[in-house]
């Protein structure tokens, strides 16, 4: 909280792991659609918009957090829902083509999770694999990344809930700041 203020620090969304993972999911999806789906395919727009919505709603929620915890929670949940939609699109892609989805504990999924633990959380970590592998492999990489982003968003939403219960929203912070000001000797 700012000294003598009621608007807490907010908007540093680029530091959130959920945002970083969502950005990677967007970058993978954009390239996946370019490489493996037809330009006229409506799924292209749907997938890119779902990936974009995941990333953008985290950013918007983070920026709104200073004055509206409710908006932050809602937009973070919209991001989570958008990434779930994207996850289903990738699963559908594999299912209708009779391509396997990696199990959570497969060697491949474990490898992708390990990539996600590197210090560089950007698309560059995945570029070589995304630009050189088959649609089946890239879709499965995307699924792994989306699962990581969704896990982080689930944790973030739970944390936002706890923080709201503990600290309240802007009205409570405004009241506390005003009361504190009134109690100071002049």
To the question of pTM greater than 0.85 for the whole model, the response is yes
- Tokens representing residue 150 in the block: 């969704």
What is the band of 124 on the pLDDT scale with cuts at 50, 70, 90? very high
Q: Is residue 5 part of a domain?
A: no
Contacts of 115 (CB under 8 A, 6+ apart): 125, 126, 129
pLDDT in tens, 6-20: 566 666 899 999 999
Q: In which band, very low, low, confident or very high, does the pLDDT at 61 lie, cut at 50, 70 and 90? A: very high
Across 151-175, average pLDDT: 83
**What does the pLDDT read at residue 58?**
96
pLDDT score for 87: 98
Domain assignment present for 133:
no
Strand, coil or helix: what is 97?
Answer: coil
User: Does the residue 142 lie in any domain?
Assistant: yes
Q: Is 105 helix (H, G, I), strand (E, B) or coil?
A: coil
CATH number at residue 75: 1.20.1440.60
Per-residue confidence (pLDDT) for residue 9, from 0 to 100: 65
Helix axes 107-116, 135-167, angle to 10 degrees: 50
**What pLDDT score does 29 carry?**
98
- Is residue 9 one of the residues assigned to a domain? no
Looking at the 3D structure of the chain, how many domains does it have?
A: 1
Q: Is residue 69 scored above 70 in pLDDT? A: yes
Structural domain that includes position 114: 14-119+138-175
Examine residue 128 and state whether it is found in any structural domain, yes or no.
no
């Amino acid at each position: 909280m700012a000294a003598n203020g009621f608007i807490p620090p907010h908007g540093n969304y680029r530091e959130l792991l959920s945002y970083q993972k969502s950005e990677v999911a967007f970058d993978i999806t954009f390239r996946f659609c370019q490489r493996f789906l037809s330009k006229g395919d409506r799924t292209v727009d749907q997938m890119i918009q779902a990936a974009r919505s995941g990333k953008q709603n985290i950013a918007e929620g983070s920026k709104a957090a200073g004055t509206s915890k409710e908006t932050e929670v809602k937009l973070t949940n919209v991001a989570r829902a958008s990434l779930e939609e994207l996850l289903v699109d990738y699963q559908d892609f594999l299912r209708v083509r009779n391509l396997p989805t990696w199990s959570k504990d497969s060697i491949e999924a474990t490898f992708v999770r390990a990539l996600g633990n590197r210090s560089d959380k950007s698309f560059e970590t995945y570029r070589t694999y995304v630009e050189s592998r088959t649609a089946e492999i890239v879709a499965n990489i995307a699924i792994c990344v989306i699962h990581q982003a969704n896990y982080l968003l689930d944790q973030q939403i739970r944390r936002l809930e706890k923080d709201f219960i503990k600290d309240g929203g802007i009205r409570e912070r405004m009241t506390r700041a005003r009361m504190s000001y009134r109690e100071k000797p002049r």
